[in-house]
Amino acid sequence: MSDFDEQDAFEGASLSARAMAARPAPYLEGLNPAQRAAVEALDGPVLMLAGAGTGKTRALTARIAHLLATGRARADEVLAVTFTNKAAREMKERVGTLMGRSIEGMPWLGTFHAICVKLLRRHAELAGLKSGFTILDRDDQIRLMKQVISAAGVDEKRWPARALAALIDGWKNRAWTPEAVPAAEAGAFDGKGPALYAAYQQRLRDLNAVDFGDLLLHVVGILQAHPDVLEQYRRRFKYILVDEYQDTNVAQYLWLRLLAGGHHNICCVGDDDQSIYGWRGAEVGNILKFEKDFPGAHVVRLEQNYRSTPHILAAAGAVIAGNEGRLGKALWTDAQDGEKVRLIGHWDGEEEARWIGEEIEAMQRGTRGMRPFSLDEMAILVRASHQMRAFEDRFLTIGLPYRVIGGPRFYERMEIRDAMAYFRLVVSPSDDLAFERIVNTPKRGLGDKAQQKIQVSARTHGVPLLEGARRLLAEGGLSGKGAKELSKLVDGLDRWGRMAGAGDVAHEELAGIILDESGYTGMWQADKTPEAPGRLENLKELVKALEGFENLSGFLEHVSLIMDNESGEGEPKVSIMTLHAAKGLEFPAVFLPGWEDGLFPSQRSMDETGLKGLEEERRLAYVGITRAEEVCTISFAGNRRVFGQWQSQMPSRFVDELPPEHVDVLTPPGLYGGGGAPEEDAGSGLHDRAARADVYNSPGWRRLQERGGRRPMAQAREAHAPVIDAAASSAHTVGERVFHQKFGYGAVTGIEGDKLEIAFEKAGTKKVVARFVTGADDVPF
Ligand code: ATP
Ligand code: MG
C-alpha cells in the first residue's frame, strides 16, 4: 500500500518532521519555477534581480517561511531587512499567513535603522556610549551643530548648521568616520568639515546621544573593530534577506557584507530600474556587483509580472527604456489587456485636483465602464509633497476620505504650522499658543529667559502673551537685540492686524507680506539644507491655497476642519503619498498627477546632478506607473500659480515617452462644446492631444476666453513660448499697473524689448524681465 510505504520512508524522522512533510507547503503554492528556485536555494548567496511586480518580495517572504518551516533557522536567527516599518509589519503578517500560524518573534525583521538601534543598545559601550543613549531628531541635531560651529569660530552665516548636517549625513552614508573623510571631500567649511565632524561626534558622545546616521556607522565600526562580536552575530544570523537592495547606501552595504562574510547565506532582491534614493547616498552599484562580492551566487531572474495589465507594463517599459546603462529586463504578463494608460491635460493644478476627485468618485460608483473600485484601492502618487495640498483641500471640500502616507499631511508640516501661527495671531492677538510658536522663529534673540519675562508680564497684568510682551517693552523690562526685535514683531502684528481689518490688500497678498516682513520667508531662503527649497515651495503653496477663501479667518477655519478630518479610522480612504513612499506598494488604480517638466522631472534634481538626476527621475516614473494593477491615470496641467503669478508649464518629457498605442487620451463628455477648440493638427505628440482634449474646454479656459483670453496652449507650444509669458511680454503698456513676484505692485514706465522699467510702490524703480510680470488686474481668475 502506497500510504504505508510513504509512512515507512519517514521511519526514524521526528514526529513533527513527519507531520510537516505530510502537509503540502502552502508557501510554495502558486510560485513559478524561478521563484521557487529562489525560495528553495537556501544555502549560499542568492540574488533576485528583477523588474517591478515580478514577485521578488513575495518570494523573499516565502523564503522566510521556508527557512522556518524546514527548521533551518529559528525565527530569531533570520535577519530580514525591509525598507519601511510598514513593509516589515506586512512581511511578518504574510509569513504568518503562509505558514498558517502566527509568527512568534522575528525580532530581526525590520528596517536597517530599527535593527541597528537594537544592536547598538546591546554594545553601546564599544562605541563609547551607554545603552540608554538618546536618538536625536533633526532639530536637536541642528541645534548641536550650531553649538559646534560657533565653538569653532566658524561664521554660521556663511556656513549654516543645516549645510553641515547635510555634509556629515553624506559622510555617514558612506561610512566615513571623521578620520576617514578623504582630503578631496573636505573642501566645504574652509576645509574644517572633518574637524567640525569630529567635534560634533564628541559632543554626541558627551551627551550620550546619536543621530540617525550614527546608528549604522557605530554598528559597522563595532563589527569592524571587534571580531568576537562580529563572530557572535555571524553565528546568530544564519540567514540574511534584504528587500529593495538597489537602494542601500555604502554603510548599509558594508554592514551586510560583514554579517554575511562567514556563511554567505544572503539573499538580496531588487531592481536596478527602481533605484530612487541616489540623492540620499544609495549606490545602485551595490546590487550590480553582488556576484563579484559573493562569488558563486545563485542568480534568479524573474520576468513574469503578476501585478499590472499589459498596457501598464508596456507604458512603464517604454519610459524606462529612455535610460542608458541599464541591465535591461523583459517583463511579460498573461493578464488580460484591460484599460490603456489614461492621459489627460488640465488647465491648471486646481482643475487637475477637481477632476481627480470627481474621477475617484465615479470609479467608486463604477460608472467608468470599469468595475467599481473601493477608495482603499486608489492612490495618488505625487513627485513633490507640496502637490498634496490641492488634493487635500479638494477632498475635504467634497468630503472624500483620504490618508497621507509616509509623512505629515500638508497642514501638519512645520513650516505650514509656523506660517499659520502668524496668521492666527494676526486674526486673534490673544492666541497664546500661536505666539509661543513664533515669538523666536525666526531667531530674534528671545531665548528662554526673555520668553519667561513675557510670560510673567502677561500673568501679572492678566493679559494674553502678545499684550504681555507689549507691556513688558513699555516698562523697559527687556533690553538689547531681543527688545528691538520683539518690538518689531509686536509692531508688525499690529500693522498686519490693521491691514486685515481694513481689507485694502487681498488677504493672500497680506499673507505674503506677513511671511516676508516677519523674516520667516527669509529664514528659509537663507537655509542651505536640502529640505529648505521644499519648505519654501510649501509656503508658496499655502499662499496659493488662501486664494480660494474670503479672508484669513475663513481660511483658518477651513484648516482647523482639515485637521479634524482624521476621524473615521478603518473606513476606506484614498491614499496620497510621494512616489518615493510608494516603493514596493501596489494599488488597483493609481493617479499620477503633475507630469510637467520642472515638477517631474524635478528641475532641482536635474540642476544638481544633470543626466544622472534625470535618469533617477525616470526611474521614479517607472516606479510610479508600475504601482498600478488595473488603471493608471497620468495627468498634467498647463498652468500653475506660484505666488499669485501664473506660470505656464510644459508637459513632462516623460509624457511623450509613453507609447501612444498603449495610451488613451481622455476626452471627457461634452467637449468641444463651449469654447473654441483648436483645429486638429496631424502628427502632434501625446501631450498636445491630451492638452486639447481637456484644457480648451475647462471652465478655467472658458473663463479666460470670456475675459479676452490668451493664445491656446497648442499654438503657444508651437512657438515654443509659454502661454502666459508670451502674452505678458507683448501685452504691457507704459502706465499699466503690474505685479512682480519679488517687488510687488508698480507702474510700467518704460519698455525695452523683453525688459520693463517699472516704478514699484515699495521697491523703487527697477528694470525687470517682462516674463516675471503680470498685469495687476490680469490674473486669470
Ligand atoms: P516591486 O519591484 O514593485 O517591489 P515585487 O517584485 O516585489 O515588486 P511583489 O510585490 O512580490 O513584486 O508581487 C507583485 C504582485 O504579484 C503581488 O500582488 C503578488 O502577490 C503577486 N505575485 C507574485 N508572484 C506571484 C505568483 N507566482 N502567482 C501569482 N501572483 C503572484
Ligand atoms: Mg517588492
* Residues in CB range of 106: below 8 A, 6 or more apart: 64, 75, 76, 78, 80, 92, 95
Residue nearest to ligand 1 atom 24, measured at CA: 55
Q: Give dist(CA 439, CA 444) in Å, integer.
A: 8
- On whether both 625 and 743 belong to a single domain, the answer is no
H-helix or E-strand spanning residue 414: helix 414-427
Q: Are residues 431 and 572 in the same domain?
A: no
One DSSP character per residue, 294-322 reads: STT-EEE---B--SS-HHHHHHHHHHHTT
pLDDT given at position 561: 63
What pLDDT band is residue 776 in, cutting at 50, 70 and 90?
low
Report yes or no on 552 lying in a domain: no
Verify that 226 and 250 share a domain, yes or no: yes
pLDDT for 765 equals 77
Task: Report yes or no on 726 lying in a domain.
Answer: no
Per-residue confidence band for 132, with pLDDT thresholds at 50, 70 and 90: confident
CA 309 to CA 336: how far, in whole Å? 6
The closest-lying atom of ligand 1 relative to the alpha carbon of residue 58 is 11
Least confident segment among 138-142, 222-226, 659-663, 769-773: 769-773
Centre of ligand 2 to C-alpha 629, Å, is: 14
* Cβ neighbours of 140 (radius 10 Å): 14
User: CA 223 to CA 227: how far, in whole Å?
Assistant: 7
Annotation marks residue 57 as catalytic: yes
Task: Give the CA count within 13 Å in the CB-facing half-sphere of 123.
Answer: 21
Give the residue whose CA is nearest to atom 19 of ligand 1. Answer: 55
The active-site residue, picked from 35, 56, 393, 485, is 56
- Per the CB < 8 A criterion, the answer to whether 419 and 520 are in contact is yes
Does the beta carbon of 377 lie inside 6 Å of ligand 1? no
55 lines ligand 1 (CB under 6 A): yes
Structure confidence by residue, pLDDT tens digits, 624-679: 999 999 999 999 999 987 655 678 889 999 999 999 999 999 865 433 333 333 33
CA atoms within 13 A on the CB side of 125: 2
* Side-chain half-sphere exposure of 298, counting CA atoms within 13 A: 17
Q: Is 588 in the pocket of ligand 1 (CB under 6 A)?
A: no
Q: Is the pLDDT of residue 614 over 90?
A: yes
- Ligand 1 pocket test target in 58, 245, 622 with most atoms within 8 Å of CB: 58
Across 440-466, average pLDDT: 93
Kindly report the CATH number assigned to the domain that includes residue 440. 1.10.486.10
Give residue 176 CA to ligand 1 midpoint distance, Å: 37
> What's the confidence (pLDDT) of residue 161?
87
- Of the candidates 470, 627, 641, 692, the residue annotated as catalytic is 627
- Strand pairing partners for 577? 381
Specify which residues 185 forms β-bridges with: none
- Distance, in Å, from the CA atom of 121 to the CA atom of 218, rounded to the nearest integer, reads 11
Helices (H), 547-602: 552-564
Tell me the mean pLDDT in the region 236-253. Answer: 95
- Is the model more confident about 64 or about 3? 64
Query: Is 60 exceeded by the pLDDT of residue 701?
Result: no
pLDDT computed for residue 741 by the predictor: 60
Pocket lining: 58 vs ligand 1, CB cutoff 6 Å: yes
Q: Phi and psi dihedrals of 86, rounded to 5?
A: -60, -45
Q: Please state the rounded mean pLDDT for residues 240-269.
A: 95
Check the annotation: does 12 bind a ligand: no
Using CA of residue 172, residue 176, residue 182, residue 183, what is the dihedral sign? positive
Concatenated DSSP letters for 227-274? HHHHHHHHHH--EEEESSGGG-BHHHHHHHHHHHTTT--EEEEE-GGG
Tell me, yes or no, if 125 is annotated catalytic: no
pLDDT of residue 222: 97
Mean pLDDT of 379-383: 97
244 catalytic per annotation: yes
**pLDDT for the residue numbered 688:** 72
The CATH number of the domain holding residue 183 is 1.10.10.160
Instruction: Tell the residue number behind the cell numbers 520512508, with chain if given.
Output: 9
Tell whether residue 441 is among the known ligand binding residues: no
Query: At 549, phi and psi to the nearest 5?
Result: -120, 160
Does residue 52 have a known ligand-binding role?
yes
Across the range 581-608, mean pLDDT stands at 93
Output 466-475 pairs: Cβ under 8 A, ≥24 positions apart.
466/425, 466/429, 466/430, 466/435, 466/490, 466/493, 467/429, 467/430, 469/435, 469/439
Residue 468 C-alpha to ligand 2 middle, in angstroms? 57
Determine the structural domain holding residue 421 and report its residue range.
411-522
What pTM, to 2 d.p., does this model score? 0.72
Strand 209-210 to strand 134-135: parallel, antiparallel, or no bridges (unpaired)? Answer: parallel
Task: Tell whether the model's pLDDT for residue 374 goes beyond 80.
Answer: yes
Burial class (CB in 10 A: 0-12, 13-18, 19+), 597: middle
Residue 641's domain is classified under what CATH number? 3.40.50.300
Is 126 inside any structural domain? no
Ramachandran quadrant class, 698 (left: phi over 0; alpha: psi -120 to 50; beta: rest):
beta
**191 C-beta closer than 6 A to ligand 1:** no
pLDDT at 59 over 80: yes
The reply to whether 661 and 648 lie within a common domain is yes
Q: What is the DSSP letter of 656?
A: G
Element (H, E) at 324: none
Does residue 309 carry a catalytic annotation?
no
Domain boundary among 522, 545, 576: 522
The answer, yes or no, to whether any atom of ligand 1 lies below 6 A from the CB of 613, is: no
| Cα-to-centroid distance, 54 and ligand 1 (Å) | 5
Same-domain pairing of 196 and 104: no
How far is residue 252's CA from residue 645's CA, in Å, rounded to a whole number? 44
Residues in the chain: 781
Burial zone of 452 (CB within 10 Å; 0-12 exposed, 13-18 middle, 19+ buried): exposed
- What's the grid cell of residue 311? 498596457
User: Considering the domain boundaries, does residue 621 fall inside one?
Assistant: yes
Distance, in Å, from the CA atom of 82 to the CA atom of 92, rounded to the nearest integer, reads 11
379 labeled part of a ligand binding site: no
- pLDDT surpassing 90 at residue 84: no
Is 346 in the same domain as 478? no
Annotate 505-537 with three-state secondary structure.
CCHHHHHHHHHHHCCHHHHHHCCCCCCHHHHHH
- pLDDT band at 23; cut points 50, 70, 90: low
Residue 540 in domain: no
CA pair distance 660, 683, nearest whole angstrom: 12
Residue 533 lies in a domain: no
Is the same domain home to 452 and 503? yes
Distance CA 417, CA 356 (A): 27
Does the beta carbon of 541 lie inside 6 Å of ligand 1? no
285 plus 418 within the same structural domain = no
- Of the chain, the percentage scoring pLDDT greater than 90 comes to 51
Look at residue 720 in the predicted model and tell me its pLDDT.
Answer: 30
- 273 pLDDT band, cuts 50/70/90, is very high
> In terms of C-beta density within 10 A (0-12 exposed, 13-18 middle, 19 or more buried), how is residue 393 classed?
buried
For residues 595 and 699, give the distance between their C-alpha atoms in angstroms, rounded to a whole number: 21
Q: Write the DSSP string, 39-51.
A: HH--SS-EEEE--
Are residues 405 and 415 located together in one domain of the fold?
Answer: no
Position 582 scores a pLDDT of 92
- How many other CB atoms are there within 10 angstroms of residue 289's CB atom? 11
In a domain, 335, yes or no: no
Residue 545 neighbours by CB distance under 10 Å? 22
Atom of ligand 1 nearest to the CA of 50: 6
Respond yes or no: is residue 118 known to be catalytic: no
Query: Is residue 677 domain-shared with residue 762, that is, in the same domain?
Result: no
Do 95 and 243 fall into the same domain?
yes
Mean pLDDT to the nearest integer, 405-416: 78
In total, how many domains does the chain have? 5
**Could you tell me the three cell numbers for 123?**
554594545
> Coil, strand, or helix at residue 412?
helix
pLDDT tens digits for range 468-526: 999 999 999 999 999 999 999 999 999 999 998 887 888 989 999 999 999 999 999 99
From 35, 57, 141, 647, active-site residue: 57
Out of 339-348, 388-397, 703-712, the most confident range is 339-348
Name the one residue in this structure whose C-alpha cell is 561610512. Answer: 175
Ligand 1 pocket member 87 (CB < 6 A):
no
| pLDDT above 70 as % of the chain | 84
Q: Which three cell numbers stand for residue 462?
A: 492678566
Question: Do residues 240 and 146 share a domain?
Answer: no
Using 50, 70 and 90 to split pLDDT, how confident is the model at 376? very high
Residue 577 lies in a domain: yes
Q: Please check if 477 is assigned to a binding site.
A: no
* Distance in Å, CA 35 to ligand 1 centroid: 10
Q: Cell 563595532 identifies what position?
A: 222
Residues contacting residue 4 through CB under 8 Å, at least 6 positions apart: none
Mean pLDDT on 410-417: 84
Q: What average pLDDT is seen over the chain?
A: 84
List the grid coordinates of 559: 484648516
